[in-house]
């Protein structure tokens, strides 16, 4: 069963730009300048999305001089992936056993 945290994380990742950021950070740790260049988003817009991701526990930050680097935190995504794997297994079982509720 999905938890409130998992539902909240799905809402956070439902935004296309945030999902793009997460996808980029899955490959490497990047600073805001890199993310601006990769996404084409304005720095202020990107910073707002990064704040949402940080508050949701999806990314960690690391200050490096005047730059801030962002790193993906895999724990939350792994938990969400586990929920989806459980849903997929349940759907598979339902299909194989042809479970259906009779209509009244």
* Per-residue pLDDT, 13: 92
C-alpha dihedral (14, 39, 53, 18), degrees to nearest 10: 0
Q: What is the pLDDT of residue 1?
A: 61
What pLDDT score does 8 carry?
A: 86
pTM of the model: 0.81
Tell me how far apart the alpha carbons of residues 70 and 50 are, in angstroms, rounded to a whole number.
Answer: 8
Separation between Cα atoms, residue 20 and residue 61, nearest integer Å? 17
Q: Which fold has domain 4-92?
A: Arc Repressor Mutant, subunit A (1.10.10)
Q: Where are the domains of the chain?
A: 4-92
Three-class SS state of 95: helix
- With DSSP H G I counted as helix, E B as strand and the rest as coil, what are the percentages for the chain, rounded to 5? 65, 15, 20
Low-confidence ranges of the chain (pLDDT < 50): none
In the prediction, which pLDDT does 2 show?
62
Strands 30-31 and 67-72, by their bridges, are antiparallel
């Amino acid at each position: 069963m999905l938890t409130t945290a998992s539902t909240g994380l799905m809402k956070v990742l439902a935004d296309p730009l945030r999902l793009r950021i997460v996808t980029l950070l899955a490959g490497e740790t990047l600073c805001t300048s890199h993310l601006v260049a990769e996404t084409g988003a304005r720095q202020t817009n990107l910073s707002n999305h990064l704040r949402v991701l940080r508050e949701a526990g999806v990314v960690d930050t690391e200050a490096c001089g005047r730059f801030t680097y962002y790193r993906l935190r895999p724990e939350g995504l792994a938990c969400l992936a586990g929920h989806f794997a459980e849903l997929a297994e349940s759907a598979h079982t339902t299909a194989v056993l042809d479970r259906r509720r009779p209509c009244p």
